[in-house]
Amino acid sequence: MKTVKFFFLLVAVAGTSLPLLAGNGSIYSSFGVGDIINYGGIRSFAMGGTGIASLADGTVNELNPAGLGQLTRTQYAGEVQYQGYSMSDGTASTFLSSGNFQSAALAFPVYSEYGIGFAFSVTPFSRRAYDVIDKQSNPGITQTFTGSGGLSSAQFGFSFSPVQDLYFGVTTHYLFGNFDDVQEIEYDSLGYFTTNGDKNISTDGFAFTVGGLFSGLDKALGISKEKHLNIGATFFSGATLKSDGQIFQNFSTVADTTDSISTTTKIPLGFALGLEYDVRNNFILTGDFQYQQWSRYTYMGVHPPEIQNSMRVGVGAEFLPTRSLSEPYYRQVTYRVGGYMDQSYLKLNGQAIDDYFITGGISVPVFSTPGSEARLNIGLEHGIRGTTSNGLERDAITRVTVSLTGSDTWFIVPEVQ
Amino acid sequence: MNALQKSYPVIFIILMLMNGCSQSPTSVGAKLIPGSARYSSHDTTIAAVGDTSFKFSQANGSGASLLVGNYASVNATSLLLFAAYLPDTLTTVQIDTAELTLTSNYGWHVSLPPVPAQFQIKEVLSSWSSSTVTVDSLSTIAMAPTNSALVTITSQDTLSSTLAIVTQIDTSLVRRWINISADTLLPRFFSLALVPAPGTVNCGVWGFSSFNSSTPPTLTIIYEKNGVKDSTSLTNGVGTFLAASSPILASAGIQTQGGISEYSIIKFNLKPPLFDSVASNRIIVNNATMSLTLKNSQSSVGYGSIDSVVAYLAGSATQLDSVGSSYYGYGYRKDTSQTTNSVYIFNITSMVQQWINVPSGNFGAELRALGGSSNVDRHVFYSSADSVYGPKLSITYTKK
């Protein structure tokens, strides 16, 4: 009960803090549908964003629904994230930061024999957050550009296992969100009316992820006598999102809607492959590759030239010294590291905008009983994006995610003897 | 374990503090914002394409000043209506004197020549209303001469600091009003008119504080009853003035004059493609300044008056006195030390925006004297026919 209270407290705090902290980030998020967020839960976050082939019982696999197949207890997670952007264009620099509710997830097994499990989660798909001030001297004006919003995915996934070691899963994503881009021109001279234009787009639609996962590939291939290697793959269907919006402009006479938009946004398909290798039952290595065909992305039927196909390669490792509660506390802590390279979907001024990140994190036990456990997770990633050359911007980005994850016997019907 | 749980708030506080390290936004990233997504700022200046001056016969209402006098083409008469309740007990008293006190608050062309200004007090016999009476109806208002003294002003120098002028009123008139007041069957209509005394020429137009001011016209009745002197004063009422000008337009050019409702309309052409009214392309007017150049020698602003003209959005092509009162801008001298060709600047940003939003409603800017129901200030500006000094409109706007 204590855990439940804390869980809901965490989500409540995260939810209420959202409007206070949301806001600032990089101008790169003004393109396309914003910064694409490859978030698969705190474990994945700390392990280079990997987890396509993860079957771990103890976290909710939000990357591959087939990864729900080995759940033994109800899993829950609530997460908040801090983001700090140190940005430079070679002549000026600034540091902007924001905090957001990141994700909440709930997953539970239904029929272990066939690996049937369900998961509900809300997680970000993309994020737009920027704040730029541009001063000009002739005429003396200050232009302000701010953007906020993004796409979220409210998703429902389930898994099943038709034969031993083979798992399949499907996730239905309801993608929804709002993009708000505001521009202002303020004149230095007194008595001048300030230009204010606000473009607000609401968008929503459905997409699907189909996943497969095979556990024990090494044994099946005769390489090993025991199952150490998992292989997983997902296919993201893409989506055609309905996008409606308006452009508001303030005039000295009236605030008016000057344009209404009713169109579609096409999110392209993508696929991912992943491997997970369990070295010694307490040391796991992971590696993922993701690809998304953003060259098919369109907004209002037009493909923006700055959007290109994206690729992402990530690796990670997890080490849990012991699961024994009698061991020293630091040995009960899970340690995670990783890294990834992301050729993002942006290509500006003829130059691809790439990300290079290292990640890490720990997961510390809060309590553990035979029926339930909870862990506090802290994940961190730091990396760079872009370059200061060619008129571009270089971002040094730090993200810290704090999460409470746990498991309990909720919703699980005891087996009849 | 407890220590760990106690650390949760600390973690949140640390996150909040990290967020607090955020700096102010800068220009970093500005170069990546495509030009097509930006608003751009522009300036342009256009000349007026036409103008017209006209006069309306219009009620001046209950303004702050009651004007009387004459100068050049302008002639003004004031009407006062006392909302009097005279106690029945006054019917038996002996009236010693009755005085009308007026306090000056305005003067137009009053300093030269330095001759006394003299005004007659007449009893008004016809009913009138300040909201409807106009100079055109003056001839239909019956007035009776009284034996009152002339209202005489000899000290123009003290005008600017307000001058209280006390004039004896015919006591027989006051006695008659007292008797009317006591008779419930008779209409209580106690009205006076101030008109220039016969032979008074170019004495200037004088203004006196009207009712509802701190120094209203005051009728004081000093009487004696049972050997004891006492007095009663009437300070409530309604006042207005009627002014005429002949000829109506005294000068060529764009002109406004208070009191006689002389207005001007100045037209500017704000049409596409420069000023697109289509919603999605509509430009945002950040500043619009109309500049008019004054013909100083033909213009005159009175004592106690603000040197200003107000420009309203003209509301109709045919009904010239119709204005959109939501859109206006005051015009002031740009350089008050300049004595020739003074430039007046009007900020009419919202008016120009409205012209662009609704091009079919662009009937021009209508100039009116500021406080025109309390003065006869005259401003004469160069017309749009003058390529050098004609009206100009400078617009700063943004668009995508």
Is residue B72 pLDDT above 60, yes or no? Answer: yes
pLDDT in tens, A359-372: 999 999 888 787 78
Establish if A194 touches chain B: CB-CB under 8 angstroms. yes
Instruction: DSSP letter for B59, please.
Output: -
Rg (CA), chain B: 30
Is residue B39 pLDDT above 60, yes or no? Answer: yes
3-class secondary structure, A174: strand
* Average confidence (pLDDT) over B55-75: 89
How far away is chain A from the Cα of B350, in angstroms, using its nearest Cα? 5
ipTM of this complex prediction, to 2 decimal places: 0.84
How far away is chain A from the Cα of B58, in angstroms, using its nearest Cα? 29
* Average confidence (pLDDT) over B2-12: 59
Are A393 and B32 a contacting pair at CB < 8 A? yes
B15, B21, B26, B400: which to substitute to probe chain A, counting the most A Cβ within 10 Å?
B26
pLDDT number for residue A254: 82
Q: Which of B4, B19, B41 comes nearest A21 by C-beta?
A: B19
Residues of chain B contacting residue A402, judged by C-beta atoms under 8 Å apart: 11-12, 15
Answer yes or no: are the C-beta atoms of A378 and A401 closer than 8 Å. yes
Residues 261-290 of A with CB under 8 A from B: none
Answer yes or no: are the C-beta atoms of A333 and A58 closer than 8 Å. no
* Chain B residue nearest residue A398, CA to CA: B18
pLDDT in tens, B373-398: 999 999 999 999 999 999 999 999 99
pLDDT number for residue B383: 95
Other Cβ atoms closer than 10 A to A227: 15
* Average confidence (pLDDT) over A142-153: 94
Answer yes or no: are the C-beta atoms of A46 and A337 closer than 8 Å. yes
Residues of chain B contacting residue A375, judged by C-beta atoms under 8 Å apart: none
Residues of chain A contacting residue B23, judged by C-beta atoms under 8 Å apart: 94-96
The DSSP result for A113-152, as a single string, is GGTEEEEEEEEESEEEEEEEEEEEETTEEEEEEEEEEEEE
* Average confidence (pLDDT) over A180-201: 94
Angle at B368 between CA B364 and CA B369, to 5 degrees: 155
pLDDT in tens, B195-226: 999 988 888 999 999 998 999 999 999 999 88
Is residue B321 pLDDT above 90, yes or no? Answer: no
Establish if A50 touches chain B: CB-CB under 8 angstroms. no
Q: Which of B25, B28, B39 comes nearest A89 by C-beta?
A: B28
pLDDT in tens, B328-354: 999 999 998 999 999 999 999 999 999
Dihedral-angle region of residue A385 (phi above 0 means left; psi in -120 to 50 means alpha; beta otherwise): beta
How far away is chain A from the Cα of B20, in angstroms, using its nearest Cα? 8
Selected from 3.90.550.10, 3.40.20.10, 3.40.50.300, 2.40.160.60, the CATH number assigned to the domain covering A2-408 reads 2.40.160.60
Single out the residue of B228, B262, B229, B230 nearest to residue B245, CA to CA.
Answer: B262
pLDDT number for residue B160: 60
Q: Which residue has the higher pLDDT, A71 or A308?
A: A308
How far away is chain B from the Cα of A89, in angstroms, using its nearest Cα? 6
Domain boundaries, given as residue ranges, for chain A:
2-408
Output the CA torsion A251→A254→A259→A260 (10° steps): 150
pLDDT in tens, B250-280: 567 799 999 999 999 999 998 776 777 777 6
Are B25 and A144 a contacting pair at CB < 8 A? yes
Are A89 and B16 a contacting pair at CB < 8 A? no
Is residue A329 pLDDT above 70, yes or no? Answer: yes
Domain boundaries, given as residue ranges, for chain B:
37-56+261-399, 65-245
pLDDT number for residue A101: 86
Q: Which of B22, B285, B354 comes nearest A24 by C-beta?
A: B22
Is residue A213 pLDDT above 60, yes or no? Answer: yes
Q: Which of B36-45, B151-160, B174-183, B237-246 has the lowest mean pLDDT?
A: B151-160
Are B15 and A99 a contacting pair at CB < 8 A? yes
Peptide bond into B113 cis (omega under 30): yes
Structure tokens at A137: 């001297």
3-class secondary structure, B130: coil
Is residue A83 pLDDT above 70, yes or no? Answer: yes
Answer yes or no: are the C-beta atoms of B400 and B40 closer than 8 Å. yes
Residues of chain A contacting residue B279, judged by C-beta atoms under 8 Å apart: 256-259
Structure tokens at A101: 């509710």
Is residue A258 pLDDT above 60, yes or no? Answer: yes
Is residue B317 pLDDT above 60, yes or no? Answer: yes
Identity of residue B140 = T
Establish if A134 touches chain B: CB-CB under 8 angstroms. yes
Q: Which residues of B touch A (CB under 8 A)?
A: 1, 4-5, 8, 11-12, 15-16, 18-19, 21-33, 37-39, 41, 43, 279-280, 282, 284-287, 327, 347, 349-350, 353-354, 357, 396, 398, 400
* Chain A residue nearest residue B351, CA to CA: A253
Residues of chain B contacting residue A98, judged by C-beta atoms under 8 Å apart: 19, 22
- Cα dist from B241 to A315, A396, B67, B86, B310, whole Å: 92, 76, 6, 25, 21
Is residue A22 pLDDT above 50, yes or no? Answer: no
**Mean per-residue pLDDT over chain A, rounded:** 90
Helices marked H in A22-55: 42-46
Query: Could you report how far apart the first and last alpha carbons of chain B are, in Å?
Result: 59
